Amino acid sequence: MNKKKHIFTFFLSVIFFTYWLFPAGESSATTLKDIPPQYETELNYLISKGIITGYPGGEFRPNQPVTRAQAATMVGRALELDGTNRQTPFTDVALGYFASGYITSAYEKGIILGDGKGNFRPEGQLTRLEMAYIIVRAFNLNDVSSVNYVDMPANAEQSAAINKVTTAGITNGAPGNLFKPNNSITRVEFSLMLARALNDDFKVNKEPKETDKSEQPKVPQQPEQSTPSTAVTKVVTASFLNVRSGPGTNYNVVTVLKNGTEVQVTGKTGNWYSINLNGKIAYVSANYIADKPVQKEPVQNEPPAQNKPPVQNGNERIIAVDAGHGDHDPGAVGNGLEEKDITLDVAKRLERYLTNGGYKVIMTRSDDTFVELDDRVKFAEDNGADIFISIHVNSFDKTSANGTETYYYNGGSKTTESKQLATFMQTRLVEALETRDRGVKTAGYRVIKANPRPATLVELAFISNSSDAEKLGSETYRDKAAYALYLGVQDYYKWLDK
């Protein structure tokens, strides 16, 4: 393409996009020429919240495909994320790009991912399957039912995402019992799914799916429960949490609470907490409620500073990243996963983040090879590494064991530094993976005991536990783990430089 023509086309697309996302004044769906009449209510709802608007000339263009950057911006606005332009984790999204703030915020929340090579492809068209993933992550959807489209993907993770958005009443597919996962999603399709995710009044197939569809599901009577004289303050950990009239998903949703909202827990029925909601008893899933955290220093989710390479005593800082096990040594095995594959994937992702952040990275292994423990330490020594990070996953005979723990060696010349490094890693990992905090511990593992530099060994989660293993097998959580480790490195050097 001619360079001048390419530049003109780019700026024209930016102008059109700006009109869609940034209204010049009040507008409504009824003022746009090409709004499908049957969707006026949903689109007016999104416009009233400032999430969408029209193009110049009063058009909505319902059948135009949505780009990945547009999706990140709309979801970011819907969730009230920080849209301030800033450096992103992706090499193809510049600081001044219009969606850089929402892309970074959505990435840090685990809502969107890159291509595994450090790119986001912001101008790429979004598919219906990708949108399903985004909605599931953004709104923390977990319920599944007997959903089976004709073109349901064979991949279990992909079919689960489609199942969850269907079960939640956010989509009912296309005519012919199709989902069309690889089709580009249009503006009207995207808008409808987002409106339904935000407002239960717009949802389709609201009732839980039953094997026997001849009878509507019956809502059980709400159990009687006495309210204790004292209530315990807890907080919501999900992005959005449904509050129901009874302890189960077959009860009506009465309201929705946002992440961080404090609730007064008055009791528990099964896996459901009863809470005091404006003087009345309501129920929330105990899976997304946690103890109120002790006040601590705010987390600093700083993006990579590509143009300012970190230095130590005038020299470039070198990070040794060690992916545990390899080749004939698979490490721990469980739930269809092998430790060596997980550690290598996370290590490569961490390498990209550290490199983009200006650090020099050396990898003890970059493919499925076996490296002796002492050779890993020697490799770091020979290449002048400043710190050493060994990545592993845990396993135990009892499948109930779960959570994240991090180790350092108590007895070397760098004990204080190693402990601080391990502490920063543990804090970031638990926060990112939402796993049980098993704490920072000491051990004599060879790669940290024999290391003359600050060294830590992280156990991301338990491969033997089904819930932990689901995260270890997920690209989303592997990437979140890598980014958390990157942030831990940043935390460590901030502490060291004080």
Task: Tell me the catalytic residues.
Answer: 459
E-state strands within 239-310: 240-244, 253-258, 262-269, 272-277, 280-285, 289-291
Handedness of CA 401, 158, 351, 358 (dihedral sign): negative
H helices present in 109-261, as ranges: 128-138, 156-167, 187-198
Give the separation between CA 227 and CA 455, rounded to whole angstroms. 50
Residue burial 378-405, b: 16+ Cβ < 10 Å; e: rest: ebbeeeebbbbbbbbbbbeeebeebbbb
Instruction: Confirm if 455 and 448 have CB atoms less than 8 A apart.
Output: yes
| CA nearest to 277, candidates 290, 264, 291 | 264
Three-state secondary structure call for residue 162: helix
Structure tokens at 349: 């992702």
How far from chain centre, in Å, is Cα 250?
Answer: 27
The most distant pair of C-alpha atoms in the chain lies apart, rounded to whole Å, by 75
Give the separation between CA 68 and CA 124, rounded to whole angstroms. 6
